[in-house]
Chain A
Amino acid sequence: MNPEHVFPEEAERLRRSLPRWAEAGRLPPERSAQLADLARRTMATPGTTSRSSHPRQSHPPRWRVTAAATAVAVAVLVGMASLIPRGGAWAEAATDWLSRYVNLHARSDPGWAWARQHTAFQEVLAADRDQDYTFRVHRVLADPTQTIVIYSLAGPEPLAGDAVPALAKVEFNGRPLTTPRVLRSGVIDGVQVGHLELRPLPTAEGTLRITLDHIGAVAGRWQVSFPVTRVPLAQWARTIPVEKTLDLPGVPLQVTEVRLTPTATTISVRYSGAGPPPELGHGPGGAVRLLTAAGDEVPYQGSSRETRQDEKQAPVHTWQLRFGPVPAGTERVTLRVEGLARPVPGSRLVLALTPGAVATAGGQPAVQVAGVQENRAVLQWQQPVEMPYRDWWVLDQHGDAYRAQAGWEVVSGVTRRTVRWNGAWAPLPQGRRAVRLEAREVWEQVSGAWEVAISLESPGRSRSS
């Protein structure tokens, strides 16, 4: 259920009051003058880098880096002798902001803190320049549960908006690394920096190659290659086979493995039932949690899912649920899923392609045809469920089906929100006309919490509770 349906008055009050509060804002005269001055000076010197030419009002550092943390950071960078030798003027220049970047993340991410403490960030000297912009890779952290690549971007102009590099390709030992990746970026000390979060490398050593085709709005080609090894961290990794069932209603999931490293925890969960796999942690208050016996929650970092076929050619879906590192000495954890979405077995929505037609299925919101054009249609339904209907097809007068492509948006009303579905399909064969729309999957939200306890005491099989 959408939170704004549960708390409609509060949502409405925020919609009214916050914009009004913002409109009433006034800057103190001193700041107003500074802003105007900044704007005029920027206007007067187009093409220059504003940070160097137009000093702005500074403010006290917001991040307090302790002397101990600084010493550790320096030790990390100096003590890399066993890995790639240092060199290059830009590597030296990057030390300051790089150590701050690592320290910033280490403050809240135990995995980064551990990696910093154990000098696990491997130094990289790889850069490429195109369109007057330079993409540099500075550090990589590779362990059996994740791969982190820290990069920076530099160019003649400040990059507009939330300029993240657009990955064209990530390859390892010449083969595409098709695992999910995340980019995070920001600005620190005037440097556009960020890091990639990749899933673990398939083998212990090799060459990672990253290719970009955009940096913000700037198109080009940047490619860097560098060796990576996860060998130094393998000694701290532990994999525990598990045979436990997470008994979700109508959805049997098998917890098959826990992989522990000082930087992260990965739990493998498998679904091999009929039909599409469920969506875990779905709905208001939905979450996927990992709890220790002491009641502490290990931070959830996201998940990925892969689908393969078993020996009978049936699909097997496996999630990799990623969490922060489990505290040392933890003997048992509990995996908890709160809320899920699942397909309603045997349900299908069929809707006449006529303006005003209404249909419903599987106990989900009624759908109305808001408009019909050639090869296009607009449907709408009321929330709380955003996408109860999926896998859309259009049927002609003979019952032949053609796949429809759709996008959807949520339109705000005063007290209700409407989901507007915009679908389109390729022109039908001559003599055929679209007469019906069909959603072959109907999904429902299920509230509840389900959990399974997992022993971490030994690398052998865990005992059933």
Chain B
Amino acid sequence: MDDETFLRLLTEHEGRLYRVALAITGQDADAWDALQDAVEAAVRHRHELRGGPRAFPAWMQRIVVHRCLNLLRSRRRMVPVDSLAPPEPGSPAAPQDRVEDRAVWEAVSRLDPRQREIVALRYLADMSLDEISSYLDLPIGTVKSRLYRALRRLRATLSAEGERGALP
């Protein structure tokens, strides 16, 4: 793959990759850091990409997820000073967002950070619970219990919002 094609694919997928990083890390600054780290690594290893442009999205997402996991591991059990703030407007409500999808994301973003990490790795990075357990170095029981609490919380949040009507 030539460099221009690589750059074009990067631009095409940058928004999605940023949102994946944001969902995992929960912080705009961390997500932006992880995305830049991932881009540097991907560029250096671009010749290892096999399968052409079709393989790029999954390949690039794996690199982004790994960078995010590096951040999470280095801050295991840490609570950043501003962690309880909602995601910054690096990802504001965009006209292209479906209302339903936006509602789900906002519910996810309000989860406890450790629950949100697991939800993001499970439903965005498509990792199995065993992979999550391994990457986050957590017992599988802990992964399951956090996912359980996250889903229970989401049920309550999304049900309440459904009764109130769609979010603005």
Bound-state CA distance A107–B74 (Å) is 13
Q: Does A14 contact B (CB under 8 A)?
A: yes
Cβ-neighbour of A108 out of B6, B7, B77, B119 (below 8 A): B77
Bound-state CA distance A15–B17 (Å) is 17
- Contact (Cβ within 8 A) B10 A24: no
From 276 to 301 in chain A, residues with beta carbon under 8 angstroms from any chain B beta carbon are 281-287, 299
Known contacts A18-B105, A35-B39: A25-B19 contact under CB 8 Å:
yes
* Residues of chain A within 8 A of B14, CB atoms compared: 27, 32, 35
Q: Does B50 contact A (CB under 8 A)?
A: no
- Contact (Cβ within 8 A) A410 B20: no
Bound-state CA distance A382–B101 (Å) is 30
- Contact (Cβ within 8 A) B130 A59: no
Bound-state CA distance A109–B75 (Å) is 11
- Contact (Cβ within 8 A) B154 A107: no
Closest to A23 in B: B16
Query: How many residues from A make CB contacts under 8 Å with B?
Result: 72
CB distance from B54 to the nearest CB of A (A): 16
- Contact (Cβ within 8 A) A35 B36: yes
* Residues of chain A within 8 A of B70, CB atoms compared: 162, 185-187
* Residues of chain A within 8 A of B77, CB atoms compared: 105, 108-109, 299
Known contacts A18-B104, A27-B18: A108-B78 contact under CB 8 Å:
yes
Which of A40-48, A67-75, A228-236, A309-317 lies on the face that meets chain B? A40-48
CB distance from A158 to the nearest CB of B (A): 7
* Residues of chain A within 8 A of B163, CB atoms compared: none
- Contact (Cβ within 8 A) B19 A56: no
- Contact (Cβ within 8 A) A42 B124: no
Number of A-B contacts (CB under 8 A): 204
* Residues of chain B within 8 A of A118, CB atoms compared: none
Q: Does A89 contact B (CB under 8 A)?
A: no
CB distance from B141 to the nearest CB of A (A): 4
Bound-state CA distance A200–B46 (Å) is 44
* Residues of chain A within 8 A of B20, CB atoms compared: 22
Cβ-neighbour of A22 out of B16, B137, B139, B149 (below 8 A): B16
- Contact (Cβ within 8 A) B71 A17: no
Cβ-neighbour of A14 out of B11, B66, B102, B123 (below 8 A): B123
Q: Does B45 contact A (CB under 8 A)?
A: yes
- Contact (Cβ within 8 A) B43 A39: yes
Cβ-neighbour of B158 out of A13, A186, A283 (below 8 A): A13
* Residues of chain A within 8 A of B145, CB atoms compared: 284-287
Bound-state CA distance A19–B3 (Å) is 27
Bound-state CA distance A387–B2 (Å) is 46
* Residues of chain B within 8 A of A23, CB atoms compared: 16
Q: Does A463 contact B (CB under 8 A)?
A: no
Which of A4-12, A132-140, A250-258 lies on the face that meets chain B? A4-12
Known contacts A3-B147, A43-B3, A160-B41: A188-B74 contact under CB 8 Å:
yes
Bound-state CA distance A158–B70 (Å) is 13
Closest to A42 in B: B43
- Contact (Cβ within 8 A) A185 B98: no
Bound-state CA distance A127–B108 (Å) is 44
Known contacts A24-B96, A104-B75, A107-B78: A18-B124 contact under CB 8 Å:
yes
* Residues of chain A within 8 A of B120, CB atoms compared: 18
Closest to B135 in A: A162
Write the A201-230 contact mask toward B (1 if CB under 8 angstroms, else 0): 000000000000000000000000000000
From 382 to 428 in chain A, residues with beta carbon under 8 angstroms from any chain B beta carbon are 409-410
Known contacts A32-B11, A62-B81: A161-B152 contact under CB 8 Å:
no
* Residues of chain B within 8 A of A281, CB atoms compared: 139, 141
Q: Does A90 contact B (CB under 8 A)?
A: no
Bound-state CA distance A188–B108 (Å) is 28
- Contact (Cβ within 8 A) B40 A24: no
| Interface-centre pick from A22, A36, A161 (highest chain B CB count, 10 A) | A22
- Contact (Cβ within 8 A) B105 A108: no
* Residues of chain A within 8 A of B29, CB atoms compared: 59-60, 62
Write the B126-168 contact mask toward A (1 if CB under 8 angstroms, else 0): 0011100001010101101101110110110010000000000
Write the B30-52 contact mask toward A (1 if CB under 8 angstroms, else 0): 10110111011101110000000
Bound-state CA distance A231–B107 (Å) is 50
* Residues of chain B within 8 A of A339, CB atoms compared: 141
CB distance from A190 to the nearest CB of B (A): 11
- Contact (Cβ within 8 A) B15 A25: yes
Q: Does A26 contact B (CB under 8 A)?
A: yes
Bound-state CA distance A339–B33 (Å) is 39
> In the complex, given contacts A7-B154, A35-B39, A187-B70, what are 13 additional A-B residue pairs having Cβ atoms less than 8 angstroms apart?
A3-B151, A24-B101, A25-B17, A38-B40, A42-B43, A56-B36, A158-B41, A161-B41, A182-B137, A194-B74, A281-B139, A286-B144, A410-B129
